[in-house]
Structure formats: C-alpha cells, structure tokens
Amino acid sequence: MKPRFEFLVFAAALVWAGLAPAQQDAASLAKAVQNPIADMVSLPFQNNTNFDVGPLNKTQNILNIQPVYPVNFTSEWNLITRTIVPVISQPAFTPAQDRENGLGDIQFSAFFSPKQPVGGWVWGAGVIAQLDTATDDRLGQGAWGLGPTAVALHLGKTWVYGALINNVWSVAKDDDRRNVNQMLLQPFVNYNFPHSPGRYLTFSPIITADWEAASGQQWTVPLGLGIGQIMRFGKQPVNLQAAAYYNVERPDNAARWQLRLQMQFLFPK
C-alpha cells in the first residue's frame, strides 16, 4: 500500500504543479480585464439587450465589438487604443415603422498611461473621437465628435475599483441634426474571489448625460450587478461575463433595464 500512496502523492503534486500556474494566470487575467487600460491586446464582444425601449416598449439590441490594442510608446508610457463598433437592432418607435438593423456611430479612444502603477493606482488620459458611421439616421447622431477622456483605478489584492469618464462635443454634423454634447461616466468595482481564481463580481454601470436634452431627460443612471469568469477554450483565454442593470433614472423613451453579456478574447504577452 505504501508505494501506491507515494504514487498518489506524486501524482497529486504533478496535478497541483500544473494547476497552480493556470490558477495564478486566471487571477492575473481577471484583474487585467477589469483594467480598461491594461497593457494587453483583447477583443471583447459585448451584447447589450435593452428592454422596454420607446413608446411601444420594444426590445433593442446593441452588439459592441470593442478591440483594445496597446502601443509601447516609450520606455515609461503606453498608448492604449480602444474602439467601439456598435451593431444595432433598433425597434420601431411608431406602428408604421419597421425595425432597423445596421452599424451605429463608431467611437475611438486613445489613452496615454504610465507603465508602472504608483501605490497600486493606474491612470490614463487622452482623447475620444466619434465617427459619423451610422448606416441609418435612426442608428446614429449624424455628427462627428471629439472630446477628452480619462480613467483612474486601484489594483488591490481582491478589489479593483475606479472610474472612466469622457465627454463628446460635435465638431461637424448634418444640418437637420442637433448638436452633440454628451458625457459618459463608468464607475466600476470588482471583487475577485480569492479561492476561485479568475472568478469575480462586477459593478460597472454606464451612466450617461445628454446636456442638450430638456430638463428631466438628460440622465440615464443604471444600477445592477454582474459576474465574470476567466476560462480557456483550448489554449485561448476568454473572459465571460453576465450582468443585469435597471435604469433608476432615464429619459422617457430609454430602456427600463438591460441584460449585458460579454465574451472577451484575451491575448496576453
């Protein structure tokens, strides 16, 4: 029995030796995906299903394709580029309308960020550009836009928290479209389970303000919660996430609540 016991101990040691790096890798990848300006190439597909949209209380769907590509700018600074390509299924707002499917306005952000955190804090600042790429008037704002963007976050042992903010103003627009002046604020708080590497809870509502809208119609403020998990499909690491948010403040025709599902392909160095 003794040789068999020693064999089992040896086999368990081999299994643990193989799992430990994978678990450590999952934990570090989980924190990387929670950092909007991480030095890692990734390709997220984020699907947002918005319920009770418009006067007919229909369902809207927005698939955001969001490639992130960092550039080694200098020995001390990174340039992190983030692009959002929205593929929209817009419901009818009147009985005479049909559902419209197509491309929305693409947004491109570039952040300059120091490579080394200071006291666990990471920050980045740069510009955001909005491109007039919508394939139909109902899918976009008919304007080219530009503005500042910034992010700051703290990377702790189990907690990752911070906020991203930007504001876009129209710099050119169609004559029949109104000016664009809109803010986006995304606070985020993530708890990483210490005994389940790669698994985390996330609170990351996307708060928006349309400064050109009438009083009482400017703010969209969601509250909710999500869960995420780092997994591997073969050798490919993937971040899977599901979350639900209810809009406690919203314009008249905005969604009441949202289901957010994300699959993010990760390409660590």
Pair 239, 264: CB distance under 8 Å: yes
Please tell me the number of Cα atoms within 13 Å of 248 on its side-chain side: 7
Q: If pLDDT is split at 50, 70 and 90, which confidence band does 129 have?
A: very high
Q: What is the DSSP string of 110-177?
A: EEEEESS-BTTEEEEEEEEEE----SSGGGS-SEEEEEEEEEEEEE-SSEEEEEEEEEEEEEEE-TTS
Domains along the chain with CATH numbers: 2-267 (2.40.160.40)
Contacts of 52 (CB under 8 A, 6+ apart): 58, 59, 255, 256, 257
Number of continuous H segments (helices) and E segments (strands) in the chain: 1, 15
Positive/negative CA dihedral, 103, 65, 122, 69: negative
Residue 11 has pLDDT above 70, yes or no: no
Helix (H, G, I), strand (E, B) or coil at 14: helix
- Contact predicate 222/205, CB 8 Å: yes
Residue 12 has pLDDT above 60, yes or no: no
* 255 within 8 A of 58, measured Cβ to Cβ: no
Please give the single-letter amino acid code of residue 86. P
**Over 50: is that where the pLDDT of 143 sits?**
yes
Q: pLDDT-based confidence at 254, cuts 50/70/90?
A: very high
Residues 111, 129: contact at Cβ < 8 Å? Answer: no
Q: Is the pTM of this model over 0.85?
A: yes
Q: Which two tokens stand for residue 51?
A: 């319920």
Query: CB under 8 Å to 99, separation ≥6 — which residues?
Result: 89, 90, 91, 92
- The CA distance from 170 to 186, in Å, is 21
Tell me whether strands 181-192 and 199-203 are parallel, antiparallel or unpaired: antiparallel
Would you state the structure tokens that stand for residue 125, as one six-digit string? Answer: 């600042």
10 compared with 189, residue with greater pLDDT: 189
Nearest Cα residue to 242 out of 26, 46, 32? 46
pLDDT tens sequence across 65-95: 999 999 999 999 999 999 999 999 999 999 9
Q: What percent of the chain has pLDDT over 70?
A: 91
Q: State yes or no: pLDDT of 7 exceeds 90.
A: no
Pairing of strands 107-114, 77-90: antiparallel
Answer left, alpha or beta for residue 89, where phi above 0 means left and psi between -120 and 50 means alpha.
beta
58, two tokens: 């229909």
Arithmetic mean of pLDDT, 215-230: 97
Q: Cα(43)–Cα(82) distance, rounded to whole angstroms? A: 10
Q: What's the pLDDT band for 22 if we cut at 50, 70, 90?
A: low
User: If phi over 0 gives left and psi between -120 and 50 gives alpha, with beta otherwise, what is residue 119?
Assistant: left
